């Protein structure tokens, strides 16, 4: 009736998400939401749109100066965003 080895709720939830193909969409959603925190308030202010396609984060930035800054730091942002969500979600950032 009772299990001898109880499992943590997080393990059960992660298993459910993985089994139903929801783990990656959830991580992608978390990554997009983490953008403002990772890049800072100045870049976030000029960010208009964010989406993920084919492991690439596409970001629309309205200021040419901020766009250039993001281009120069994109490898650092990729690493920090992936670390924030706990997995390899994106491999590149494209700014337009």
- Yes or no: say if 35 and 96 are a contact pair by the CB < 8 Å rule: no
- pLDDT confidence band for 1 (50 / 70 / 90): low
The model carries a pTM of 0.84
User: Is the confidence at residue 3, as pLDDT, over 70?
Assistant: no
Instruction: Round the average pLDDT of the chain to a whole number and report it.
Output: 94
Cα–Cα distance measured from residue 13 to residue 19, given in angstroms and rounded to the nearest whole number: 10
- Yes or no: say if 89 and 27 are a contact pair by the CB < 8 Å rule: yes
CA atoms within 13 A on the CB side of 9: 0
Sign of the CA dihedral running 71, 24, 80, 47: positive
């Amino acid at each position: 009736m009772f299990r001898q080895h109880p499992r943590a709720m997080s393990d059960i939830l992660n298993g459910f998400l993985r089994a139903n193909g929801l783990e990656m969409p959830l991580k992608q959603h978390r990554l997009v939401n983490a953008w403002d925190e990772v890049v800072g308030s100045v870049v976030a202010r000029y960010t208009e749109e964010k989406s993920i396609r084919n492991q690439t984060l596409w970001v629309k930035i309205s200021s040419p100066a901020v766009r250039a800054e993001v281009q120069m730091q994109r490898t650092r942002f990729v690493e920090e965003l992936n670390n924030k969500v706990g997995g390899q979600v994106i491999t590149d950032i494209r700014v337009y």
